Structure 1
Protein backbone atom coordinates (compact mmCIF):
# COMPACT_ATOMS: atom_id res chain seq x y z
CA UNK A 1 0.00 0.00 0.00
CA UNK A 2 1.45 3.39 -0.90
CA UNK A 3 2.43 5.63 1.99
CA UNK A 4 -0.20 8.27 1.11
CA UNK A 5 -3.03 5.68 1.49
CA UNK A 6 -1.65 4.44 4.81
CA UNK A 7 -1.66 7.98 6.21
CA UNK A 8 -5.21 8.54 4.98
CA UNK A 9 -6.43 5.39 6.80
CA UNK A 10 -4.44 6.25 9.94
CA UNK A 11 -6.52 9.45 10.21
CA UNK A 12 -9.79 8.03 8.97
CA UNK A 13 -10.02 4.97 11.24
CA UNK A 14 -9.71 6.84 14.57
CA UNK A 15 -12.23 9.44 13.36
CA UNK A 16 -14.74 6.70 12.52
CA UNK A 17 -14.18 5.01 15.88
CA UNK A 18 -14.74 8.28 17.76
CA UNK A 19 -17.93 8.90 15.78
CA UNK A 20 -19.24 5.40 16.46
CA UNK A 21 -18.46 5.60 20.17
CA UNK A 22 -20.55 8.76 20.37
CA UNK A 23 -23.49 7.04 18.67
CA UNK A 24 -23.74 4.07 20.98
CA UNK A 25 -24.60 3.65 24.60
CA UNK A 26 -25.16 7.00 26.23
CA UNK A 27 -27.91 9.39 25.34
CA UNK A 28 -28.96 12.82 26.50
CA UNK A 29 -32.44 11.75 27.59
CA UNK A 30 -33.08 12.09 31.33
CA UNK A 31 -33.50 8.88 33.31
CA UNK A 32 -36.97 7.46 33.79
CA UNK A 33 -38.61 5.29 36.43
CA UNK A 34 -41.67 3.08 36.35
CA UNK A 35 -44.94 4.61 37.53
CA UNK A 36 -48.05 2.58 38.17
CA UNK A 37 -51.41 2.84 39.79
CA UNK A 38 -55.15 2.77 39.62
CA UNK A 39 -57.85 5.01 38.20
CA UNK A 40 -61.47 4.79 39.30
CA UNK A 41 -64.42 6.73 37.92
CA UNK A 42 -67.52 7.04 40.11
CA UNK A 43 -66.27 4.18 42.26
CA UNK A 44 -65.53 1.74 39.42
CA UNK A 45 -62.22 0.93 37.69
CA UNK A 46 -61.89 3.01 34.51
CA UNK A 47 -62.41 0.40 31.76
CA UNK A 48 -60.13 2.06 29.19
CA UNK A 49 -58.41 5.38 28.81
CA UNK A 50 -55.14 7.22 28.68
CA UNK A 51 -53.00 8.97 31.25
CA UNK A 52 -50.35 11.65 30.67
CA UNK A 53 -47.74 12.99 33.09
CA UNK A 54 -46.65 16.52 32.06
CA UNK A 55 -43.90 18.40 33.93
CA UNK A 56 -45.44 21.10 36.14
CA UNK A 57 -42.55 23.47 35.34
CA UNK A 58 -42.77 22.79 31.60
CA UNK A 59 -39.20 21.46 31.52
CA UNK A 60 -38.56 17.95 30.26
CA UNK A 61 -40.76 15.60 28.35
CA UNK A 62 -44.23 14.24 28.85
CA UNK A 63 -44.90 10.57 29.50
CA UNK A 64 -48.05 8.63 28.76
CA UNK A 65 -49.62 5.24 29.08
CA UNK A 66 -52.83 3.37 28.61
CA UNK A 67 -55.37 2.51 31.27
CA UNK A 68 -56.94 -0.96 31.19
CA UNK A 69 -59.44 -2.12 33.82
CA UNK A 70 -58.39 0.75 36.07
CA UNK A 71 -54.66 -0.06 35.96
CA UNK A 72 -51.73 1.74 34.34
CA UNK A 73 -47.97 1.18 34.12
CA UNK A 74 -45.45 3.23 32.11
CA UNK A 75 -42.12 5.03 32.49
CA UNK A 76 -41.78 8.70 33.41
CA UNK A 77 -39.03 11.18 34.18
CA UNK A 78 -39.02 12.21 37.83
CA UNK A 79 -40.32 15.46 39.23
CA UNK A 80 -43.66 17.13 39.87
CA UNK A 81 -46.25 16.29 37.22
CA UNK A 82 -49.64 17.47 36.06
CA UNK A 83 -51.76 14.40 35.42
CA UNK A 84 -54.26 14.31 32.55
CA UNK A 85 -56.72 11.42 32.28
CA UNK A 86 -59.11 10.93 29.40
CA UNK A 87 -61.45 8.25 28.12
CA UNK A 88 -64.20 7.90 25.57
CA UNK A 89 -67.15 5.58 25.18
CA UNK A 90 -69.54 4.50 22.47
CA UNK A 91 -72.72 6.62 22.25
CA UNK A 92 -74.69 3.88 20.51
CA UNK A 93 -74.97 6.08 17.41
CA UNK A 94 -73.25 5.71 14.04
CA UNK A 95 -71.81 8.31 11.70
CA UNK A 96 -72.42 8.66 7.95
CA UNK A 97 -69.87 5.88 7.29
CA UNK A 98 -71.61 3.51 9.73
CA UNK A 99 -68.77 3.91 12.23
CA UNK A 100 -69.55 4.16 15.97
CA UNK A 101 -69.63 7.67 17.42
CA UNK A 102 -67.75 8.06 20.69
CA UNK A 103 -67.78 10.77 23.33
CA UNK A 104 -65.25 11.90 25.89
CA UNK A 105 -66.84 11.50 29.30
CA UNK A 106 -64.11 12.37 31.80
CA UNK A 107 -64.68 15.92 33.16
CA UNK A 108 -62.24 18.65 32.08
CA UNK A 109 -60.86 19.09 35.61
CA UNK A 110 -59.10 15.74 35.08
CA UNK A 111 -57.66 16.52 31.62
CA UNK A 112 -57.76 19.85 29.73
CA UNK A 113 -58.13 21.82 33.01
CA UNK A 114 -56.55 19.20 35.24
CA UNK A 115 -56.33 19.56 38.98
CA UNK A 116 -54.46 16.26 39.36
CA UNK A 117 -50.78 16.12 40.30
CA UNK A 118 -48.17 13.49 41.11
CA UNK A 119 -44.62 13.61 42.38
CA UNK A 120 -42.48 11.02 40.59
CA UNK A 121 -39.46 10.17 42.73
CA UNK A 122 -36.07 8.97 41.51
CA UNK A 123 -36.06 6.17 44.07
CA UNK A 124 -38.77 4.35 45.92
CA UNK A 125 -42.19 3.22 44.80
CA UNK A 126 -44.08 5.47 42.40
CA UNK A 127 -47.58 4.11 42.88
CA UNK A 128 -50.55 6.43 42.46
CA UNK A 129 -54.32 6.26 42.93
CA UNK A 130 -56.61 8.64 41.07
CA UNK A 131 -60.26 8.77 42.16
CA UNK A 132 -62.36 10.56 39.53
CA UNK A 133 -65.99 11.62 39.86
CA UNK A 134 -68.48 12.68 37.23
CA UNK A 135 -69.78 15.52 39.44
Structure 2
Protein backbone atom coordinates (compact mmCIF):
# COMPACT_ATOMS: atom_id res chain seq x y z
CA UNK A 1 0.00 0.00 0.00
CA UNK A 2 2.83 2.44 0.88
CA UNK A 3 4.51 1.67 -2.45
CA UNK A 4 1.34 2.62 -4.34
CA UNK A 5 1.25 6.02 -2.60
CA UNK A 6 4.93 6.60 -3.41
CA UNK A 7 4.35 5.70 -7.07
CA UNK A 8 1.28 7.95 -7.25
CA UNK A 9 3.25 10.76 -5.59
CA UNK A 10 6.13 10.37 -8.04
CA UNK A 11 3.74 10.39 -11.01
CA UNK A 12 2.02 13.54 -9.72
CA UNK A 13 5.40 15.22 -9.20
CA UNK A 14 6.47 14.30 -12.74
CA UNK A 15 3.20 15.61 -14.18
CA UNK A 16 3.53 18.92 -12.31
CA UNK A 17 7.18 19.29 -13.38
CA UNK A 18 6.24 18.63 -17.02
CA UNK A 19 3.43 21.19 -16.94
CA UNK A 20 5.66 23.84 -15.36
CA UNK A 21 8.54 23.16 -17.77
CA UNK A 22 6.27 23.26 -20.83
CA UNK A 23 4.58 26.41 -19.60
CA UNK A 24 7.91 28.20 -19.25
CA UNK A 25 9.03 27.11 -22.71
CA UNK A 26 5.93 28.63 -24.30
CA UNK A 27 6.16 31.81 -22.20
CA UNK A 28 8.75 33.37 -24.51
CA UNK A 29 7.62 36.01 -26.97
CA UNK A 30 8.70 35.00 -30.47
CA UNK A 31 9.61 36.86 -33.62
CA UNK A 32 9.91 36.09 -37.34
CA UNK A 33 13.33 35.93 -39.02
CA UNK A 34 14.18 35.51 -42.66
CA UNK A 35 17.07 36.34 -44.89
CA UNK A 36 19.94 35.26 -47.07
CA UNK A 37 23.28 33.52 -46.46
CA UNK A 38 26.17 33.84 -48.89
CA UNK A 39 29.70 32.45 -48.65
CA UNK A 40 32.40 34.27 -50.63
CA UNK A 41 29.68 35.93 -52.70
CA UNK A 42 27.79 32.73 -53.56
CA UNK A 43 24.45 31.73 -51.96
CA UNK A 44 24.88 28.76 -49.59
CA UNK A 45 23.19 25.91 -51.47
CA UNK A 46 22.15 23.77 -48.47
CA UNK A 47 22.78 24.34 -44.78
CA UNK A 48 21.42 25.19 -41.37
CA UNK A 49 21.27 28.47 -39.46
CA UNK A 50 20.82 28.55 -35.68
CA UNK A 51 20.05 31.54 -33.43
CA UNK A 52 21.34 30.99 -29.87
CA UNK A 53 20.25 33.52 -27.21
CA UNK A 54 22.98 35.46 -25.40
CA UNK A 55 20.72 35.55 -22.34
CA UNK A 56 17.15 34.46 -21.74
CA UNK A 57 15.02 33.69 -24.76
CA UNK A 58 13.97 31.03 -27.19
CA UNK A 59 16.51 29.66 -29.64
CA UNK A 60 15.52 28.73 -33.19
CA UNK A 61 16.93 27.35 -36.40
CA UNK A 62 16.06 26.76 -40.03
CA UNK A 63 17.26 25.08 -43.18
CA UNK A 64 19.13 27.18 -45.73
CA UNK A 65 18.16 26.39 -49.31
CA UNK A 66 19.56 28.30 -52.30
CA UNK A 67 20.89 30.88 -49.85
CA UNK A 68 17.51 31.64 -48.25
CA UNK A 69 16.13 30.86 -44.80
CA UNK A 70 12.86 31.64 -43.06
CA UNK A 71 11.68 31.08 -39.48
CA UNK A 72 7.99 31.82 -38.83
CA UNK A 73 6.99 33.68 -35.69
CA UNK A 74 5.32 30.67 -34.03
CA UNK A 75 8.64 28.77 -33.97
CA UNK A 76 10.99 31.75 -34.09
CA UNK A 77 13.46 33.12 -31.56
CA UNK A 78 12.58 35.73 -28.95
CA UNK A 79 13.51 39.38 -29.44
CA UNK A 80 17.01 40.06 -28.08
CA UNK A 81 20.72 39.41 -28.60
CA UNK A 82 21.82 36.25 -30.41
CA UNK A 83 24.89 34.33 -31.51
CA UNK A 84 24.37 32.91 -35.00
CA UNK A 85 25.83 29.61 -36.20
CA UNK A 86 25.82 28.62 -39.87
CA UNK A 87 26.71 25.13 -41.11
CA UNK A 88 26.79 23.59 -44.58
CA UNK A 89 27.84 20.01 -45.34
CA UNK A 90 29.81 19.60 -48.55
CA UNK A 91 31.31 16.41 -50.04
CA UNK A 92 35.09 16.03 -49.74
CA UNK A 93 35.31 13.82 -52.82
CA UNK A 94 36.47 10.89 -50.68
CA UNK A 95 34.66 7.74 -49.60
CA UNK A 96 34.67 6.40 -46.05
CA UNK A 97 33.44 3.24 -44.37
CA UNK A 98 29.83 3.57 -43.18
CA UNK A 99 28.80 2.76 -39.60
CA UNK A 100 27.73 -0.72 -40.72
CA UNK A 101 31.43 -1.50 -41.24
CA UNK A 102 30.88 -2.76 -44.80
CA UNK A 103 29.47 -0.04 -47.07
CA UNK A 104 31.48 2.86 -48.51
CA UNK A 105 29.73 6.25 -48.44
CA UNK A 106 30.64 9.81 -49.44
CA UNK A 107 32.55 11.78 -46.81
CA UNK A 108 31.23 15.24 -45.92
CA UNK A 109 32.78 18.18 -44.11
CA UNK A 110 31.49 21.54 -42.94
CA UNK A 111 32.06 23.95 -45.82
CA UNK A 112 31.69 26.95 -43.52
CA UNK A 113 34.71 27.93 -41.35
CA UNK A 114 34.41 27.48 -37.55
CA UNK A 115 34.35 31.25 -36.97
CA UNK A 116 30.83 31.22 -38.46
CA UNK A 117 29.57 28.18 -36.51
CA UNK A 118 31.15 26.51 -33.44
CA UNK A 119 33.45 29.50 -32.80
CA UNK A 120 31.00 32.02 -34.24
CA UNK A 121 31.76 35.71 -34.49
CA UNK A 122 28.25 36.39 -35.81
CA UNK A 123 25.90 38.34 -33.54
CA UNK A 124 22.52 39.94 -34.22
CA UNK A 125 19.85 41.80 -32.31
CA UNK A 126 16.34 40.65 -33.14
CA UNK A 127 13.41 42.99 -32.62
CA UNK A 128 9.68 42.38 -32.33
CA UNK A 129 7.94 41.69 -35.63
CA UNK A 130 9.68 40.75 -38.86
CA UNK A 131 13.49 40.61 -38.97
CA UNK A 132 15.46 40.54 -42.24
CA UNK A 133 19.16 39.62 -42.17
CA UNK A 134 21.86 39.11 -44.79
CA UNK A 135 24.79 37.01 -43.64
CA UNK A 136 27.52 37.66 -46.20
CA UNK A 137 30.32 35.34 -45.01
CA UNK A 138 33.78 36.01 -46.40
CA UNK A 139 37.07 34.18 -45.89
CA UNK A 140 40.12 36.38 -45.47
TM-score, L = length of structure 1: 0.74
1:41 aligned residue (20, 28, 39): 39
- Pair 1:130 & 2:135 matched: yes
What count of residue pairs does the alignment treat as equivalent?
109
Question: What CA RMSD, in Å, does the superposition of the two structures yield over aligned residues?
Answer: 1.7
- Runs ≥4 in structure 1, deviation > 4 angstroms? none
Please say which of residues 65-74 and 86-95 is displaced more in the overlay. Answer: 86-95
Q: Which residue does the alignment assign to 2:91? A: 90
CA drift of 1:50 comes to 0.5
Specify every segment of 5 or more residues in structure 2 that has no aligned partner in the other structure, as ranges.
1-18, 98-102
Distance 2:64 2:70 in 1: 8
Specify every segment of 5 or more residues in structure 1 that has no aligned partner in the other structure, as ranges.
1-22
Distance 2:44 2:139 in 1: 12
> Which is greater in Rg?
1
Contact 2:30 2:58 in 1 (8 A): no
TM-score, L = length of structure 2: 0.72
